[in-house]
């Protein structure tokens, strides 16, 4: 490609941008000039535009991750990664890669402008939901629809922070992209809100399985980042599931889980509020009503099982703790064989989803019993 042809190509890109043609027109110009197929995707590999007569795959992700045929260029705006531009069917075309880079630079400016405006508007919506700034859910839904968002009935908020080198905008963009990959809502889109160094992810959780999947995906985030050779060291907290009109508690519990998890487990680690048991009570300085509710929640599975099967698991647990975790003394108090006590302790762990070998879980169970005894 002669220097004058490079200048002509670059000037054509500038004219398209100045006339408001946007990313689609820029992609079409590249396809025509390079004689290939062009695919434009955002940073999360979602389709934005396609052009050209060549056969184009559904995504260029395979080119990057598995070496499939094609040329792919990251689209940046400054240090922000805002998309992917791919060119197919031009392996023999001279200077196709140069045209790809020039077009990616022009598209980066356009995508960044669109992304910043859209992100700011959506961020206002999620910020209002987090602070419960809407008068009612109808007002929230109306505002969401104005931004093209189908608001879910319930959300589980995940708060993420990370230790990484580099400018904060680039770090947050990478963190947002990673979160977008691992959380997969079915009927509604993810919400994102950046506050200083924290990224709030609003994960739709209409069903119990959605909340469970969000918790699992969040817990695996540090491993996922490491597997992708990312430098992000992610810490996070998973909040409670709350209605869309009452998300302040989900945000508060997510922030508490992040703070407690860092102190207990260090970084990188993502902790779920519902798994922190007694530590959440101690961190928040819970009142007597919250303490009673906590004890009831922890002991409810045992009481339900005892009532249904006419067993004595709750009594066994209390005697076991009172005996200093001595199985022999516990068996004598219950007038049963010590193997029966071992069996019951295993049952208790399975039913409560806690293990008596864990100091954290043991503290939760001990506190629940102590609180129950004080308030009954």
Residue from 76, 15, 75 nearest 49 by CA: 75
Q: Name the strand (E) or helix (H) holding 169.
A: helix 168-182
Mean pLDDT (whole number) for 313-337: 93
| Domains of the chain, each with CATH number or no CATH | 3-117 (3.30.450.40), 151-276 (3.30.70.270), 286-374 (1.10.10.2840)
State how far the Cα of 273 lies from the Cα of 364, in Å rounded to an integer. 13
pLDDT at 302 over 70: yes
DSSP 160: E
In whole numbers, what is the pLDDT of the chain averaged over residues? 86
Token couple for 94: 């001279």
Residues 278-296 pLDDT 10s: 888 888 777 888 888 889 9
Say what the pLDDT of residue 1 is: 64
30 neighbors 38 (Cβ within 8 angstroms)? yes
pLDDT of residue 117: 47
DSSP 275: G
pLDDT of residue 286: 73
pLDDT in tens, 72-127: 999 887 666 788 999 998 655 568 888 999 999 999 888 766 554 455 556 678 88
Q: Shortest CA distance to 71 belongs to which of 80, 57, 166?
A: 57
pTM of the predicted model as reported, rounded to 2 decimal places: 0.60
Burial label for 61, CB within 10 Å (0-12, 13-18, 19+), is middle
Condensed to tens digits (0 to 9), the pLDDT of residues 235-268 reads 999 999 999 888 999 999 999 999 999 988 888 9
Residue that is written with structure tokens 């860092």 in the block: 262
Percent of the chain at pLDDT > 90 equals 38
Which of 168-172, 309-313, 334-338, 369-373 has the lowest average pLDDT? 168-172
Comparing C-alpha atoms, which of 310, 317, 288, 312 is closest to residue 376? 288
């Amino acid at each position: 490609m002669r220097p004058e042809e490079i200048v002509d190509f670059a000037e054509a890109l500038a004219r398209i941008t100045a006339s408001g043609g946007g990313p689609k027109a820029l992609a079409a110009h590249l396809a025509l000039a390079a004689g290939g197929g062009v695919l434009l995707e955002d940073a999360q590999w979602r389709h934005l535009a396609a052009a050209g007569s060549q056969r184009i795959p559904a995504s260029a992700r395979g080119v990057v991750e598995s070496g499939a045929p094609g040329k792919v260029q990251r689209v940046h705006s400054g240090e922000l990664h805002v998309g992917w531009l791919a060119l197919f069917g031009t392996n023999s075309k001279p200077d196709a890669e140069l045209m790809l880079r020039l077009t990616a630079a022009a598209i980066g400016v356009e995508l960044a402008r669109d992304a910043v405006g859209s992100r700011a508007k959506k961020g206002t919506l999620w910020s209002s939901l987090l602070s419960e700034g809407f008068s009612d859910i109808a007002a929230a839904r109306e505002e969401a629809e104005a931004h093209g968002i189908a608001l879910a009935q319930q959300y589980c908020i995940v708060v993420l922070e990370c230790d990484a080198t580099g400018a904060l905008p680039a770090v947050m963009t990478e963190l947002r992209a990673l979160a977008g990959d691992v959380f997969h809502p079915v009927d509604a889109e993810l919400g994102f809100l950046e506050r200083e160094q924290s990224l709030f992810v609003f994960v739709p959780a209409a069903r119990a399985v959605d909340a469970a999947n969000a918790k699992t995906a969040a817990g695996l985030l540090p491993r996922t980042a490491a597997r992708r050779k990312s430098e992000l060291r992610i810490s996070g907290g998973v909040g409670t599931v709350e209605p869309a009109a009452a998300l302040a508690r989900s945000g508060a519990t997510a922030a508490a889980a992040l703070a407690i998890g860092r102190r207990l487990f260090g970084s990188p680690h993502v902790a779920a509020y519902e798994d922190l048991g007694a530590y959440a009570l101690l961190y928040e300085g819970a009142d007597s009503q919250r303490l009673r509710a906590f004890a009831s929640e922890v002991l409810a599975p045992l009481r339900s099982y005892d009532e249904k099967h006419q067993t004595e698991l709750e009594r066994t647990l209390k005697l076991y703790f009172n005996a200093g975790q001595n199985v022999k003394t516990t068996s004598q108090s219950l007038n049963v064989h010590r193997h029966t006590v071992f069996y019951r302790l295993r049952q208790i762990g399975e039913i409560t989803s806690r293990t008596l070998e864990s100091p954290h879980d043991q503290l939760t169970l001990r506190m629940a019993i102590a609180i129950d005894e004080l308030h009954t």
